Every structure is written in structure tokens, then in C-alpha cells.
């Protein structure tokens, strides 16, 4: 049983005109076994929340707390957060030329587990994970994200999610730019992960269509750096029918 607890989180970024507050007090608790969807319009701060939890240096936390099972996440370095059990599937995964997927996955797995995986079972696991995501085995020899199509990048992120098996997965717009087949493939991967037991999922998305394949237990509407409304899956249906206008107007008042 794990718990990711975000309390009154304030985050700023440096801009040409000085620091600008993006997150204005976010409070959210995710327990293992739960899938939370954060939905919101562009620029509402959804991605900032994801990258702040992962520890990206661009984002300065100015207030609040983030804890994983009571441990202070904000005091940890980026890699310590990952080893503590957090995983961020990125919207724009970064190319690392000359580093093969296979080397990258093995290095990451070794870091997370604190020991090298057993070679024979590991190769099988990797091949199975790639196959599940419709990535052929030659994929492992390619350089990380280099020359990958948009869909391959996202499927590679989910393959990592399954292989590294964190406690909490944050998926930042994993659905964006995917055709319907790739969306199903990726969603199947997330569902396999979530059903693996004792796992929490925070799914950040602009669109409702991924929620047809990944059923959230909770939906949070994110507007202007804060959670504007919370509810169950029915809230997503309402957003699909009405869009974000109601919330944007409320925020503008």
C-alpha cells in the first residue's frame, strides 16, 4: 500500500519578467490501486505538476509538500525520486544518441533494483514488454528515442513503465499524437501495470478519449494552476459533452 500525497503545492518558473507562479496550491492524494485523471485546458499547469513531482530543475517549488509513503519527495534528487518508486512517462521523451534502448533499460533496472537483473530472464522480460507494445525486438538496438516516431516514443515510455514497475506512475499526455491503434496498445500497457497490484496512476490528459480505455476512479479538472472541480468518472463524460468553457469562465471572473 503506497500513498502519494501532494499538499498545497506552489511552483514557479523563471521567465524574462521574473518568476511566474504556475501552480497555485494543488492538493491531491493518490493511493495505490487508484487511477486519477487530471484534465484541463492547455496552459493550466498540468505538465508543470508532473515535472515538479519528478524534480525537473526548471521548476521551483515555492510552497507546499509532496510525500511518498511519508518520505519527503521534494528533498530527493531526480534519480532518488525514481528509485523511491515514482515514474514519469513524458510527453516529449528525449533523444539520447548512441545509447541503445537495451543498455538504457538494463542500466535503469539495475539502478532501481540496486542490483543487475538476471541476464537470461531479463532479456525475455524486455522482449515480452516490447512485443506487448507492438515494438519489434530490433527496437532494443536502436538509440534511445532517436529517430522514433511519435507513437514509438510513447510506446517506449510505457514499456519502461512495465519493466521498471514503480509504485506510482505519472503519465503526461501519453495519449497525445497517437492514432487509435497506438492509443489502445498504450492503454492496454497502462492497464496491465495498474492491475499488477498496489500501483497508483496519475493520468494527465487534455482529451477524454483515452478515458474510454483507461477507467479513472477519480477525475480532477485543472484550471489556472489549481484543481477547480473533482468527481468520479461521470465528470469526464460531462467534460466530453460540455468542454472546459464553464471552468475557464469561472476562473476568469
Partner 1 sequence: MTVTAESVSNALELDKVESHLHPEGSFDLADHAVPTGREEVWRFTPLKRLHGIHADAPLDGDGFTVDVVAADGVRAETVGADHELRGRSGLIPRDRVSARAWAAARNVFLVDVPAELETGATNVTFTGTGGESAVAGHVVVRVGAHAKATVVLTFVGSATLAENVEIILGDGAHLTLVTLQDWDDDAVHHATHHALVGRDADLKHVAVSFGGDVVRHDTSTEYAGPGGSVNMLGLYFADAGQHIEHRLFVDHTAPKTKSHVVYKGALQGDGAHTVWIGNVLIRKVAEGIETYEENRNLVLTDGARADSVPNLEIETGEIAGAGHASATGRFDDEQLFYLRSRGISEAEARRLVVHGFFTDLIRQIELPELEEKLAATVEAELAKNVLKGLI
Residues forming the site for partner 1 (CB under 8 A): 54-57, 77-79, 81-83, 87-88, 90, 93-99, 103-104, 107-108, 111-112, 143, 160, 164
In the complex with partner 1, the residue whose CB is nearer, 18 or 98, is 98
**Residue indicated by cell numbers 496512476:** 201
In the complex with partner 1, the residue whose CB is nearer, 135 or 236, is 135
In whole angstroms, how close is the CB of 76 to partner 1 at the nearest point?
11
Task: Give how far Cα 123 sits from Cα of 1, 102, 103, Å.
Answer: 29, 9, 11
In whole angstroms, how close is the CB of 82 to partner 1 at the nearest point?
4
In whole angstroms, how close is the CB of 110 to partner 1 at the nearest point?
9
Give the whole-angstrom CA distance, residue 100 versus residue 149. 16
In whole angstroms, how close is the CB of 90 to partner 1 at the nearest point?
7
In the complex with partner 1, the residue whose CB is nearer, 62 or 107, is 107
First to last CA, the chain: 41
In whole angstroms, how close is the CB of 95 to partner 1 at the nearest point?
8
In the complex with partner 1, the residue whose CB is nearer, 8 or 113, is 113
In the complex with partner 1, the residue whose CB is nearer, 103 or 191, is 103
- For residue 92, which phi and psi values (nearest 5 degrees)? -125, 80
In whole angstroms, how close is the CB of 145 to partner 1 at the nearest point?
8
Residue 78 C-beta-side C-alpha neighbours within 13 Å: 10
Q: Indicate the burial class of 177 (C-beta count within 10 angstroms; 0-12, 13-18, 19 or more).
A: middle
In the complex with partner 1, the residue whose CB is nearer, 29 or 100, is 100
In whole angstroms, how close is the CB of 205 to partner 1 at the nearest point?
20
Of 178, 231, 167, 201, the C-alpha closest to 1 is 167
Give the whole-angstrom CA distance, residue 205 versus residue 202. 10
In the complex with partner 1, the residue whose CB is nearer, 57 or 70, is 57
Count, residues in the chain: 253
Of 17, 14, 19, 92, the C-alpha closest to 50 is 92
3-state helix, strand, coil in the chain (%, to 5): 40, 30, 30
192 Cβ contact partners less than 8 Å away, ≥ 6 residues apart: 132, 162
Amino acid at each position: 500500500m503506497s500513498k502519494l500525497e501532494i499538499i498545497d503545492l506552489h511552483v514557479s518558473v523563471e521567465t524574462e519578467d521574473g518568476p511566474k507562479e504556475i501552480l497555485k496550491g494543488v492538493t491531491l492524494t493518490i493511493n495505490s490501486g487508484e487511477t486519477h485523471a487530471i484534465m484541463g485546458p492547455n496552459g493550466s499547469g498540468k505538465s508543470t505538476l508532473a515535472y515538479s513531482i519528478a524534480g525537473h530543475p526548471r521548476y521551483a517549488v515555492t510552497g507546499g509538500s509532496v510525500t511518498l509513503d511519508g518520505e519527503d519527495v521534494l528533498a530527493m534528487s531526480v534519480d532518488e525520486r525514481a528509485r523511491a518508486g515514482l515514474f514519469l512517462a513524458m510527453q516529449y521523451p528525449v533523444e539520447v544518441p548512441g545509447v541503445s534502448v537495451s543498455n538504457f533499460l538494463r542500466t535503469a533496472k539495475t539502478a532501481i533494483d540496486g542490483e543487475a537483473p538476471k541476464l537470461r530472464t531479463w532479456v525475455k522480460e524486455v522482449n515480452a514488454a516490447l512485443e506487448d507494445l507492438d515494438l519489434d525486438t530490433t527496437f532494443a538496438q536502436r538509440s534511445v528515442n532517436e529517430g522514433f516516431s511519435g507513437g514509438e516514443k510513447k510506446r517506449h515510455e510505457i514499456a519502461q513503465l512495465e519493466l521498471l514497475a514503480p509504485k506510482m506512475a505519472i503519465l503526461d499526455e501519453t495519449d497525445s499524437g497517437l492514432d487509435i491503434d497506438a492509443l489502445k496498445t498504450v492503454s492496454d500497457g497502462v492497464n496491465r501495470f495498474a492491475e499488477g497490484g498496489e500501483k497508483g496512476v496519475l493520468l494527465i490528459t487534455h482529451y477524454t478519449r483515452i478515458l474510454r480505455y483507461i477507467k479513472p476512479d477519480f477525475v480532477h479538472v485543472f484550471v489556472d494552476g489549481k484543481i477547480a472541480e473533482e468527481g468520479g468518472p461521470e465528470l469526464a463524460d460531462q467534460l466530453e459533452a460540455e468542454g472546459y468553457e464553464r471552468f475557464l469562465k469561472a476562473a476568469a471572473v
